[in-house]
Each structure stands twice: as C-alpha cells, then as structure tokens.
Structure 1
Amino acid sequence: MSTNCEIRFDNNPNGTFTSGQMLTGKVILNLSEKKKVRSIYLKIEGVAKCSWVVTKGAGNRRRTITYSGKEDYLNQTTYLMGSASGGQLEIAAGITTFSFACMLPEALPSSFEGKYGHIRYSCKVVLDRPLKSDKEFRTSFSVIKSEDLNAISMLAMPTKSEIVRYFYCCCIRSKPFFMSVSIPFSGYVPGQKVDLTIFINNQSNVNIDGTKVSLERNTQYISQNPRKKVRSELLTVKEVYGTGMLKSASGELKISLVIPPLSPTNLNYSRVMTTCYQIRVLAKASGAHKNPHLTIPIRIGSIPLRAALPLPHFNAILNTSMTTQATAPPMAVQDLPPPSYEEAVSIRPEMGGEDADVSIFNPRYPVWNFSPAPSAPLATESAPETSFKVPLN
C-alpha cells in the first residue's frame, strides 16, 4: 500500500550545483501495488522569499503589518508520464525510473537562509491522481553563483582602515588612541585565511584589555507588499580574539580569521535580498569606556584571487573549481584537493504559512583547502587565533 519516491542527482550526492551548470538526475518511483494516475511530473523550482511583521500602536489602535517579497528564478515542469489534460494511466507495481535534466541559468543567485527570508531551490515530483489529492515528494539542492574574484581587480589590492579616538573622565580628554588595520587583499573564498595586521598606538591613560576580530554578514530584505520596505539583519558569523595594549604603549598584532562556509556576496542578483560582508575589529577598553572599533568590507566569492596564491596552487584550484561536478576527481596539480561541501550554520527563519510544507534546508557551500601553505609566505606569520581571549561585550 506504500508509495515511495526518491530523487537522485547524477554524480552529485551533495546536491550542490553552480549557476550555469547542467542539473541531471533520476526519479525512482517504488510502488507496492499498481496505481492509477493522470500524470506524473517534476517541478524544478527556485525562489526567494522574505517576510516579517511590524506591530504599531497600542490598545484599540494596535495593528500589525506583514511585509513580504517574492521573486521566482526557476520554474520548469517536465511531464514524466501522461499530461495535464490526459486520461488515466496505470503504473505497475515495483520500481519505475525516470531521467531528467535542467540547465541552470547563469544569473541564479546562491542558496541562502536568513532570519527573515531565504533563497531555495528544490525538485518536486507530483503524482496527479484522479479523484484524489495529489501526492508530492520534494528534495532540495544548493546553488552557488559562480563568482570569480579576479574579475574585480581592486580586490587584489591591500586594504587599510584606521581610527583615532579619545577617552573621557570627568570631561577631561585623554591623549589619543590610534588603531589601524590592514589586510593584504579584500576578496576571499570559504576556507581561506584573512591575515590582519593591527597596529595600536595607545597614548591614552586607559589600558586595552584585548582585541576582537569579527566577520559580519549584513543582509537586507526588500519587501514588495504592502509596499517597498527594507529590513536589515547584521549577523556575526565568526569571532577570534587577540591581545591588548597597555596605556602609553604601542605595538603590532597579528590575527588570522578563517572564512567559514558562506554564500558569495550577493549585491546584484536578487530584488528581494542582498548580502555583503565586513570585518570588524574592536579594542576592549578597561573600565566603563566605550570600545573603539573599525570595519573593513570584504567580498566573498567562489574562485580565489591569483594574488592570494602562487600560480601552481591557483591553477590547481581553478581546474578543480565547481564548474565540474561535486564528485569529479581532482586535477593532479600539486595534489591540491578539490573543495569540500560543508553546511552553513542554519538560521531558523521567522516564516510560516505557505512555506510550512518546505523543511528548512541547510545549503552546502564549497570550502577550499589551502594546505600545503603557499611557498611565498605573507609578510609576517600570523599569531594563533586564540592567543589571548577576554570577554568582550
């Protein structure tokens, strides 16, 4: 009496694809007894949705407004058996296999899960049964927008940010606190280290107890109904800690932060949401003083910068890029392995309603293994990521 259906992707058990890639697979239908259907069809869908609720007023004037937005990227229907207007067909008991294929458009944005929205891709098999409700089987897959960081030349240039701050006590201003942060380039891929050089000249009378480096993701959700409205979400995805600096002292700190599995920067591929990243460096001042901080924007892509690696390593990475299937064997160049595909940290959306039938899906993103280290090292070796840890609020 049971009906089972499995959707398998060819040579791609992780279900991770790049935009512009051919998606192929099989639908394996297993029936314990013969069934009558009008048709069996496969829908391959890609959609972005956002939603949040705003409450205004109080008492009798209290009201809630639901802001929402939606954008379709992919909607392909393939009839595996029968048609929408056809008569009844009978499927024999046992296993029946159907093949399918779909060319993914180049402009597809990457899969994404956020607090107030998502970009999701899925395959759904529907058994259109006469005089009965349809039976559906769904599986999700990840799409990564191919982003070659080398296409933006300025990403290979060193980036620097600096601040000057003063501390106050009883309206008396201290001598200046100066902090500068530099990184060798501003384009990175997951699995790659961001090597930060932090210079502090603390001429004030306040000790700096420690430093904190955070990788932050800034997402903007853009509604269409009842009108256009933007909601921002700033999320810290990773933190590392470093030593501080005594008062009336100066010195240089080295901190490294490894980029975790994250979707590429998305500023141009969706009208419903945008995503960008930045590095925040905070100096923890002792006492009740305000903590000085600065930010440096970075871009996350899927193909690393040539400037980040010696040429043999770059060629190896490029040859094993995601333009091949996820299980393709690595090219035999420097024995550099292809990327692993790791799940992002899931954030449970505040959404429901028509999305209730779609389970929350953790997209998988490529994480590059940069070992062995490049033969041409950076200017100075970075200190351990947790050389000195203090609680920073």
Structure 2
Amino acid sequence: MSSTLRTFEIKLDNPTATYGAGAIITGQVVVDVTKTKKLRALKLRFKGKCSVHWQKTSSSGKSSRTVDYTGEEEYFRNDVCLFGSTGGDTIEMLAGHHTYPFSYALPRNIPNSFEHGVGSVEYSMKAIIDRPWKFDHETTKIFTVETPFELDSQSYSMAGIHDEKEEDYCCILPCISRGNMIFIFELPTTGYACGEPIHTTVHINNRSDSVEVEEIEVKLEQKLEFHARSPYKKTKTKSCVVQQSKREGPFLKKSEVLVGLQVPSVPLSKLQYCSLIDISYQVHIEVHVSGLHCKTEKFYDILIGTRPPAIAHQVHHPVPSQHPLPITSPSAPVDYSPAYDPVSPFPTPLIPMPVPSVPQSEKTPPYPQFPTPGAPYPTQSGSSQYPPPGAPYPTQFGSGPYPPSGAPYPTQPGPDQYPPNNAPYPNVHPFQYPSAPGFQPPRNVEFVPSNPTSPFQYPPEQLPPSYDSVMANDNRK
C-alpha cells in the first residue's frame, strides 16, 4: 500500500458476509489519504465464478508428462463506479477520510459457495483505485452465497425406501448349506436437511443355525464430481464418509435394529446452477456376519437440502364474537334456529340469514306465514276489485252471464260494461309486491267477459247485402 494511502478497505453492513441469491449487498468503501491523490476512478467490481483444476502425471520409460485439467465458468462480473469515471480524465481525491456507500443486487440463479482442493465456487468484491500510468490500488473481500435447495420441490425426495435382500451361506464346499438370512432395509424418506436424523431400520430374519449377525453399520457418504473442459473433457471423482454410526450384536433370530445418525453441516446436493461440480450423497449400510462370510452391503441415494422454516403458532382460534355465521342456502326456506347451536364448540348465537333474493329494509315488513290449509281467505281493507270466495257471478243481462236467447244484440255497449280504469288484465295473475301485508291472491275466480258481442258480428237486421242483391241493383241501373 502506498505511503499516502492510510486506509483502503471494504466494510459490509452484514457482519457475517453471507447472502442469499437475489439479495442486495450494501456497505461502504473507506479511503483515507494523507495528501491529495490523482486518480481516474474509484470502482467496485463484483464477481462470481467457478473453477476446477487438477494435474495428472503419466510416465513412459524415463520421461514423464503432466497434464493440467481445468475448467472455469463465470456467473456475473459487474463494475460499479463510486468516484470519478472509468476511462475519463484524471481527477483529484483530497486528503482526508472518505466514505463511499454502495449497493448491489445479486443474481438469482447462482450456485452456493463451495470450497475444495480440486474446485471451488467463489464470490468476491474488489475495490480498485484506477491510477493513470501507475499500478492500481486494490483490496478484495470474499462473501458467501447460500442458495436454498428446497426438498419440497423434489417429489421423489419424499419417498421412503423398503428393500429386501436374501443371503445364502454355505461351507467351504458349496454343496453344504449353512442356511440363509433375509434382511429388510427401511428409510422413512430420502430427503433430509442439515441437522436432521437419518433413521435406518434393518429387519433380520436369521434362518441359519451357525451364522450370526455381529454388527450393523450405517455411513453417510459424499461423492464429488469435478468436470474439466481443457485440454479436453474429463471428470474426477472424490468420495468421503461425512458421518457414520453402528450397532453391535448379538441380535435375536428375528429382530428389528434401528441405527440413527445425524446429518452434519455439509454442502447441499447437486450444487444447483453449477455445471462443473456435482455433489451427491448416499446411505451405505453394511451388515457384518460371523465366520468368513462376506458382509451384506446396500447403497441408497438421498438428497440433502433445505426446508422452509416452520411457522409456529399459526393455528388461529377465533373468539366467540368472530365465529362465522351459518350460511343459508338460497333455495332453502329461512330456518329460525335456537339461540345457541348445541353442536358448535363456541357458544355463539346463530343469527338467521335472510333470503338473498329479496332485499330487506327497515320499512319492509316481514313475509306473512302461509295460511293453514282450509282456512278462509283474509279480507283486505278498503275496496277490493275481486269478489269474496263463493260469491255469485256478476250479471249483465238478467241473471246469467249471457243474454237470453232471442234477445237482440245491443248496438253499442253501455259505459257500465267496460272494466274500471287501471283494472288488472284478466288473463294475467295479479301480482302484488311483498309490501302489501297479508296479501293472498283469490282462488277459483273465473273471468266473465264484459262485452259478449264480438266486433266481427252483426245483428240479424244489420247483415251486409249479399252478392246477388248487389248485382241485381246494378243491372236495374
């Protein structure tokens, strides 16, 4: 660092320097110079990349050849200018203490940070003082990215394992049998998060009299694959045991053995969005038996990821005043329930709901109850246009609705034969709105025409002349 540059560092607002994909990084670049300094710009470079590298040496006679296998991919590289301008004219930074705040939004589709001797995924920010015709001043800060790998999105990760295997045991001579054993291996699920236990159950059915199960061991193994692209495509595999547990015998002939181990803090499966490094895990089960017989081994692939944080105390118990009202079906009649519902766990009064199809208001009286069958019709106040039930038909000519036989047709109907003004049309059932209390339409009332004379009929003395009489009159003229 130059003698005139007293302080040059990056300070993050997040003290852990750990961010999720898509998060916003905020902080300050602190510069303290003892005297005025010439520069082009002060910029901050954000970079995310993955790189793999290993060597392989091959010998042929007295000569040997070493090949470097490499691969690299970049996820983002962005420069943020904090002071001055890149490629611009020279400016001066005055002596003293300077603080330059910054913020940067990380991309969403980036892998987790990962570190290994063969390959790594690394994220960094570098502050650069660009000086003309001189070496630049630089300071770098590494930060960590944690991208969740949701197990709920992997449907197969929720499936359990139920596997069966039968082993036959024999003496040195294959023709002499020592019996057999049947093992059933069970895992409740194949998806786990860091810190969760893996419960492995082994069911033993020992049908041998001379062979016994001595030990059952369960291992959690990690498998890493690194893919190089230069000088040509090649893959390097690394495996290791990250956790193990075991149970020692003796065990009964028929027994159920539970072996548990806890998932440690390890990188998540697959390393999403990275094409150069693959991470996988498997549960390795070994059953050791007595004698010189081979052990029984099984391998089951599992996923290690993340689960959404459990939201506690989310069960909401409503108070009685917030208990929902019963919903009345529009097609069902209104049922006036008792004050309290004996079935409901809350003593909330059940308020009857009105029929949705009929608007209610304070001025509108309630609907009347239907009359009992056989009860007389209710009477209406004031004058009515309809006769009471059982009344005789009104007469217009004598005592019947039609004129007596032989009576002459009236030449013009009298004014009293027309129905009164605003009378309802006789062919349509009169409709009354619910605002009329106690309204009941009359029943069995037949319509009596007010004028039995058809407009297309003539009395016998006023019939039109015939065709013959008209032609005879014309001939006389």
Normalising by the residue count of structure 2, what TM-score does the alignment of the two structures yield? 0.59
CA distance in 2, matches of 1:240, 1:89: 65
Q: Secondary structure at the match of 1:315?
A: coil
- In 2 relative to 1, CA 174–20 (structure 1 residues): closer, same or farther, beyond 3 Å? farther
Q: CA RMSD in A?
A: 2.6
CA distance in 2, matches of 1:122, 1:233: 26
- In 2 relative to 1, CA 214–131 (structure 1 residues): closer, same or farther, beyond 3 Å? same
Q: Secondary structure at the match of 1:150?
A: helix
- In 2 relative to 1, CA 142–249 (structure 1 residues): closer, same or farther, beyond 3 Å? same
Q: Secondary structure at the match of 1:270?
A: coil
Aligned with residue 229 of structure 1, among 203, 227, 234: 234
Correspondence 1:274 to 2:299: no
Aligned with residue 185 of structure 2, among 177, 181, 186: 181
Aligned partner of 2:160 in structure 1 is 158
Correspondence 1:211 to 2:231: no
CA distance in 2, matches of 1:135, 1:270: 32
Q: Report the AA paired with residue 14 of structure 1.
A: T
CA distance in 1, matches of 2:124, 2:137: 16
CA distance in 2, matches of 1:3, 1:288: 72
For the 8 Å contact 1:162–1:294, the answer to whether it is kept is: no
Correspondence 1:239 to 2:244: yes
CA distance in 1, matches of 2:173, 2:120: 48
Aligned partner of 1:390 in structure 2 is none
Give the aligned length. 309
After TM superposition, the structure 1 stretch with the greater mean CA deviation from structure 2, 28-37 or 136-145, is 28-37
For the 8 Å contact 2:159–2:189, the answer to whether it is kept is: yes
CA distance in 1, matches of 2:7, 2:294: 60
Aligned partner of 1:358 in structure 2 is none
Shift of residue 26, structure 1, vs aligned partner: 2.2
For 1:101-112, list aligned pairs within 5 A: 101-112=103-114
For the 8 Å contact 1:124–1:139, the answer to whether it is kept is: yes
Shift of residue 285, structure 1, vs aligned partner: 3.8
CA distance in 2, matches of 1:199, 1:30: 70
Correspondence 1:9 to 2:12: yes
For the 8 Å contact 1:49–1:71, the answer to whether it is kept is: yes
After TM superposition, the structure 1 stretch with the greater mean CA deviation from structure 2, 197-206 or 141-150, is 197-206
Q: Secondary structure at the match of 1:314?
A: coil
Shift of residue 127, structure 1, vs aligned partner: 1.9
For the 8 Å contact 2:214–2:289, the answer to whether it is kept is: yes
For 1:71-82, list aligned pairs within 5 A: 71-82=73-84
Q: For residues 176-221 of structure 1, what are the alpha-carbon distances to aligned partners after superposition, in whole Å with 9 as ceiling and x for unaligned?
A: 3433332222222112222222223344534433222221111111
Correspondence 1:296 to 2:300: yes
Aligned partner of 1:122 in structure 2 is 124
Task: Return structure 1 stretches of 4+ with deviation > 4 angstroms.
Answer: 166-169, 286-289
CA distance in 1, matches of 2:179, 2:241: 32
For 1:15-54, list aligned pairs within 5 A: 15-54=17-56
Structure 2, unaligned stretches of length 5 or more? 316-477
CA distance in 2, matches of 1:209, 1:67: 45
Q: Secondary structure at the match of 1:262?
A: coil
Shift of residue 88, structure 1, vs aligned partner: 2.5
For the 8 Å contact 2:127–2:139, the answer to whether it is kept is: yes
For the 8 Å contact 2:112–2:272, the answer to whether it is kept is: no
CA distance in 1, matches of 2:170, 2:11: 64
CA distance in 2, matches of 1:314, 1:30: 46
Correspondence 1:58 to 2:60: yes
Q: For residues 37-62 of structure 1, what are the alpha-carbon distances to aligned partners after superposition, in whole Å with 9 as ceiling and x for unaligned?
A: 22221111111111111122333442
More strand by share: 1
CA distance in 2, matches of 1:191, 1:32: 51
Shift of residue 115, structure 1, vs aligned partner: 3.3
For the 8 Å contact 2:194–2:263, the answer to whether it is kept is: yes
CA distance in 2, matches of 1:281, 1:151: 27
Aligned with residue 147 of structure 1, among 146, 149, 156: 149
Q: Secondary structure at the match of 1:155?
A: helix
CA distance in 2, matches of 1:273, 1:174: 47
Aligned partner of 1:314 in structure 2 is 310
For the 8 Å contact 1:212–1:283, the answer to whether it is kept is: yes
CA distance in 1, matches of 2:68, 2:241: 26
After TM superposition, the structure 1 stretch with the greater mean CA deviation from structure 2, 47-56 or 144-153, is 144-153
Correspondence 1:96 to 2:95: no
For the 8 Å contact 2:226–2:237, the answer to whether it is kept is: yes
For the 8 Å contact 1:243–1:253, the answer to whether it is kept is: no
CA distance in 1, matches of 2:241, 2:148: 24
Q: Which has the larger radius of gyration?
A: 2
Correspondence 1:198 to 2:202: yes
Q: Secondary structure at the match of 1:214?
A: strand
Structure 1, unaligned stretches of length 5 or more? 305-312, 317-331, 335-393
For the 8 Å contact 2:170–2:179, the answer to whether it is kept is: no
Q: For residues 108-153 of structure 1, what are the alpha-carbon distances to aligned partners after superposition, in whole Å with 9 as ceiling and x for unaligned?
A: 0111122311111111112223333222211111112222211123
- In 2 relative to 1, CA 159–6 (structure 1 residues): closer, same or farther, beyond 3 Å? farther
Q: Secondary structure at the match of 1:251?
A: strand
Normalising by the residue count of structure 1, what TM-score does the alignment of the two structures yield? 0.71
Quick one: percent identity of the two aligned structures? 28
CA distance in 2, matches of 1:229, 1:95: 51
Q: Secondary structure at the match of 1:154?
A: helix
Shift of residue 71, structure 1, vs aligned partner: 0.8
